[in-house]
Amino acid sequence: MTTGEDQNAAIWRSEQAVGRWVAAGDEREAKRAAQWQLMADLLPFGSDQPFTLLDLGAGTGAAARAVLGSYPRAEAVLADFSDQMMAEGAGAMAPYDGRYRYVAFDMVTDPWAGALPDTVDAVVSSQCIHHVPDERKATLFAEIHSHLAPGGWYLNFDPVTADDPIVAAAWQRAADRADPGAAAKAAHRTHDEQTRYDNHIRHMAPLDRQLGYLRAVGFQAVDVYWKHLDSVIYGGCRSPEPS
């Protein structure tokens, strides 16, 4: 947990920070493509089935694109609170014009009603739930559950923290081996880099706690569907029985 003022909105609404994030897009997307595809593959739809997907904190729409690419009759609502990210996303999403729309939505402060569809068949989030404070993670997961159609799925691809410092150290050792320059870079961050890093970890939370939030609000089939060190895809589904 970091102290000081929350910079999340300022960072994601800054042309400079978004420009830097977008500039690294090709490398990042190549690294994460398999995970976004797995999220698409985990959904319980036939390849010709029409359904509505909600991508929360969609950014330039990487997770939604994997789903829309796998299910040609699916449509997507991409929710984000950054005009800058949504403007960048318009280019990346161009192949899916007519099958998606962006919605301005702050996951922490905005009410679902009126902004997002009352019922969706699937929800994904990628690399953004760690920007949401824990109290709101729990209530957001409850809202997702209550707006999913019976049998609908929620999948989240995100970094998590370890409860156990020995586990955290093991993750760090392996990460440092994979990227030998990372430790030196971390030790010499500029002020802006430190601000972005602090924002990155501020609300990052242990995996078990987040699985507990899902179970507590009624999700079934809660599992960690993929994991590498601190990076996970977890999720679950709403009961197929109408409530």
Ligand X SMILES: C[S@@+](CC[C@H](N)C(=O)[O-])C[C@H]1O[C@@H](n2cnc3c(N)ncnc32)[C@H](O)[C@@H]1O
**Which stretches of the chain bind ligand X, using CB under 6 A?**
8, 12, 57-59, 62-63, 80-82, 85, 105-108, 126-128, 131
Nearest residue (CB) to ligand X, 57 versus 152: 57
CA distances from 46 to 41, 67, 100 (A): 10, 12, 19
Nearest residue (CB) to ligand X, 142 versus 167: 142
Dig out the tokens for 111 from the structure.
Answer: 């009410």
Nearest residue (CB) to ligand X, 59 versus 235: 59
CB of 46 to ligand X, least distance (A): 25
CB of 82 to ligand X, least distance (A): 3
For residue 205, is it left (φ>0), alpha (ψ between -120 and 50) or beta?
beta
Give yes or no for a contact between 79 and 54, defined as CB atoms under 8 angstroms apart. Answer: yes
**How far apart are alpha carbons 14 and 12 in whole angstroms?**
6
* Residue with smallest beta-carbon separation from ligand X: 59
CB of 226 to ligand X, least distance (A): 14
Nearest residue (CB) to ligand X, 104 versus 170: 104
CB of 18 to ligand X, least distance (A): 8
173: how many CB neighbours lie within 10 A of its CB?
A: 11
**How far apart are alpha carbons 186 and 215 in whole angstroms?**
36
Nearest residue (CB) to ligand X, 77 versus 107: 107
CB of 105 to ligand X, least distance (A): 6
Residue 130 CB partners (closer than 8 Å, separation 6+) = 158, 159, 160, 200, 201, 203, 204, 205
SS3 87: helix
CB of 127 to ligand X, least distance (A): 4
Nearest residue (CB) to ligand X, 134 versus 218: 134
Q: Which of 86, 202, 188 is nearest to 134 (CA)?
A: 202
Residues in the chain: 243
